[in-house]
A = this chain, B = another copy of it.
Amino acid sequence: MTFRFTSIGNSSAVPAYGRIPSAHILNFKESCFLFDCAEGTQMEMMRLGIRRSRIRHIFISHLHGDHYLGLPGLLNTLNLLHHRKEMHVYAFAPLKEIIETEMRISGHQFRFPLHFHDLQEEGSSLLLDETGYEVRDFPLAHRIPCRGFLFREKKTGRKIRPEKLAEYSIPVKEIEKIRSGHDFITADGRLIPNEELTREGRPPRSFAYVTDTLFLEALAETLQGVDLLYHEATFMEKDARRAKETCHSTAMQAARIASLAGAKKLVLGHFSAKYRDLAPLLDEAREIFPESYLSAPGRSFDI
């Protein structure tokens, strides 16, 4: 069952070496989520052969231009290409104002339902609560209000042991009850406990999106046990002072968070334009957290 993270853009504020700023896709079953939407996202998706029309939910971490300037163009293109399905945007309130101003001036109107959901600056909110998954946000520490996002699959029901269906001649209509935890009584009146008929479902998987932020040790708790952590790694350790000044993290700091959180895998991104070659950032991260990887345009990670 699809659960896949794909980078579209992984540069920090300045596009460089063919890398555009932040934009990432998460595919979960049939659903498609966009995390940040830098200028050029729609063109880069087209170039990478990633369908833009599948996106239904867009999460914008904060209102620095390199995280949202591609949104008006993407929405405009979907509009012109006859997109008619609902679209949800989760962002700080002024983004709605900007996009509505642009639409008013242009004389255009969206021909699909566009819902803006305002992010809050404090605490953690449940943004999406759907069959099979939920999305929460949480605070980061940047120069302006900024949020991380935690996407969690819900616990799946217990799995039926197929051999037991035959053994006790279980009728099809009973299966859903057993899956939800009920015992079964056979035709001759024997009670078969649920534990014998089922086994634990697959453990639920999770994905976290963390950009832009200072090194924030408290994140480790929020991110405990996450399967895939995308964490910004704007700088190398030798530029740690610059990272602190600009409220960003180093690759090594991202790795420390992954390690403290007991994450399964770390994907680094949001690289400064000062680094053409990113291998040294990866080396630094792997010293601390061996399951570290570099994001790259079009590179996917299965979760």
Would you call A269 an interface residue if the criterion is a C-beta within 8 Å of the partner chain's C-beta atoms?
A: no
Count this chain's copies in the assembly.
2
Whether B101 pairs with A101 at a CB distance below 8 angstroms is yes
A46 to B64, CA, bound (A): 21
A72 to B13, CA, bound (A): 12
A64 to B40, CA, bound (A): 17
Partner of A66, one of B40, B76, B97, B101: B76
A66 to B43, CA, bound (A): 13
Whether B98 pairs with A101 at a CB distance below 8 angstroms is yes
- Closest CB in chain B relative to A234 CB, distance in Å: 13
Residues of B within 8 A of A102 (CB): 63, 65, 98
A72 to B71, CA, bound (A): 13
Would you call A107 an interface residue if the criterion is a C-beta within 8 Å of the partner chain's C-beta atoms?
A: yes
Contacts A101-B94, A101-B97 hold; do A106 and B144 have CB atoms under 8 A apart?
yes
Residue from A39, A72, A80, A81 having most chain B Cβ neighbours under 10 A: A39
A40 to B46, CA, bound (A): 13
Residues of B within 8 A of A14 (CB): 77, 80-81
Would you call A73 an interface residue if the criterion is a C-beta within 8 Å of the partner chain's C-beta atoms?
A: yes
Whether A15 pairs with B77 at a CB distance below 8 angstroms is yes
A188 to B3, CA, bound (A): 96
Within 8 A of B (CB), among A210-255: none
Would you call A198 an interface residue if the criterion is a C-beta within 8 Å of the partner chain's C-beta atoms?
A: no
Would you call A42 an interface residue if the criterion is a C-beta within 8 Å of the partner chain's C-beta atoms?
A: yes
Would you call A143 an interface residue if the criterion is a C-beta within 8 Å of the partner chain's C-beta atoms?
A: yes
- Closest CB in chain B relative to A58 CB, distance in Å: 16
Would you call A148 an interface residue if the criterion is a C-beta within 8 Å of the partner chain's C-beta atoms?
A: no
Partner of A20, one of B43, B64, B98, B143: B43
Would you call A69 an interface residue if the criterion is a C-beta within 8 Å of the partner chain's C-beta atoms?
A: yes
Closest to A74 in B: B39
If A15-B43, A39-B42 are given as contacts, then 15 extra A-B residue pairs at C-beta distance below 8 Å, sorted by A number, are A14-B81, A15-B77, A20-B43, A39-B43, A39-B69, A39-B70, A39-B72, A39-B73, A64-B108, A66-B73, A69-B72, A94-B101, A98-B102, A98-B105, A105-B144
> Which 8 pairs, one residue from A and one from B, show the smallest C-beta to C-beta distance?
A39-B73, A63-B105, A40-B40, A94-B105, A69-B73, A65-B76, A107-B144, A64-B106
